[in-house]
Amino acid sequence: MVDAHPSVSAFSDLYPVGERPPLRKYLAEAWRRRAFAMRLSSSRLIASLLPNRLGVLWIVLKPLAMAIIYGAIFQFILSGAARPDNFVQFLIVGVFVLEFFSGSLGSGSKSIIANTKLVQSLGFPRILLPISAVAEQAMRIVPVMVLLGILLIIFGEPVTWSWLLMIPILMIMGVFNLGVAFVFARLSVRTRDVQQMIPIINRILFYASGIFFNIDGALADFPTLLTIAHLIPTYEFISLARDVLLSGHTAPLIAWVAAPIWALVMIVGGTIFFWQAEARYGLSE
C-alpha cells in the first residue's frame, strides 16, 4: 500500500499553523519543499491505480471512451459549417487536451479539503497541495498524449516537426491550470458548495471550447459571440493543439497571444489569492 502522506520528519523548521508568512518567504519555502509536492503527486497517482485491475490503462481509457461516445453521437448530428473536415481527429484532440484542464480543476479544487488532517496538524506552505494535484494530472497527461499521437497516425495525420510544439503548449497550459487550481482550492475551503459547481463548469467549457464542432463555422454569423469564444482559455489551448497536430486547422492569431497571457494572469493572481488565506487553511473544519 502506498503511503500518500510523508512522515513528520520530512517537515523541519515549519512555521506554526495559522500563520501567514510574507509572500516572498512563502514562495521560497514552497520552492525549497518542492520535492514533497512531487512525491505526494506520484504516490497518489500510484495509489489511485493500484486497486484497479487495468491499472495505468485507465489513464488513457477514460478520455478514449469519452471520445468514442461523443464521436458516435455527433458523427451523425453535425452538418454544415459546424462540422470539421477531419471530425475524428478534431474530436480526440479536443477531448484529450480538455482532460488535462478538467482533471487539474477537479483535483486541485479538493486539494486542501481532502487533506484536512494534514493541513491542521502541520505548518507548511499549503500551496504545495494544489501544486501536487496539478503535477499528478501532468503525469497522467503524458501517456494520454502518446495515445493521441498513435491515434492521429492511425487516422492518417502526417507526423511533422510542429508536433513538438505540444510540449510548450502543455507547459503553458499547466501553468494556467495551476493558477485555476489555486483559486478553486481556496474557494472550496471557504464554501464547500463550490465543489457542486465543478462538474457544471467543466460541462460549460466542454461546449464553449468547441470540442466536437467548429466554432468559427458555427458562429460565423455572430461575430461578437465568435470573439468571446476565441477568448475562452480552454478554447485557446485546444485550438493551438489542433493547429500544431492537425493538417488543415489553423488557430486564430489571438490564441497564440492570449494563451500565455491567460497563464500569466492566472498563476500570478491565483498565487496571491491563495496565499492571502494561508493563515485560515489550518483552522478550517
Q: What is the DSSP string of 87-131?
A: HHHHHHHHHHHHHHHHHHHHHHHTTTGGGHHHHHH--S-TTHHHH
pTM: 0.84
pLDDT score of 259? 93
In a domain, 2, yes or no: no
Spans in the chain with pLDDT lower than 70: 1-19, 47-61, 66-67, 69-83, 282-285
In a domain, 258, yes or no: yes
In a domain, 8, yes or no: no
In a domain, 204, yes or no: yes
In a domain, 92, yes or no: yes
How many domains does the structure of the chain reveal?
A: 1
Domain that includes residue 80, residue range: 21-281
In a domain, 7, yes or no: no
167 vs 142: CA distance, rounded Å? 10
In a domain, 16, yes or no: no
The answer for residues whose C-beta is within 8 angstroms of residue 184's C-beta and 6 or more apart is: 105, 108, 109, 194, 198
Tell me the three cell numbers of residue 228: 468571446
In a domain, 146, yes or no: yes
274 vs 1: CA distance, rounded Å? 32
pLDDT score of 61? 67
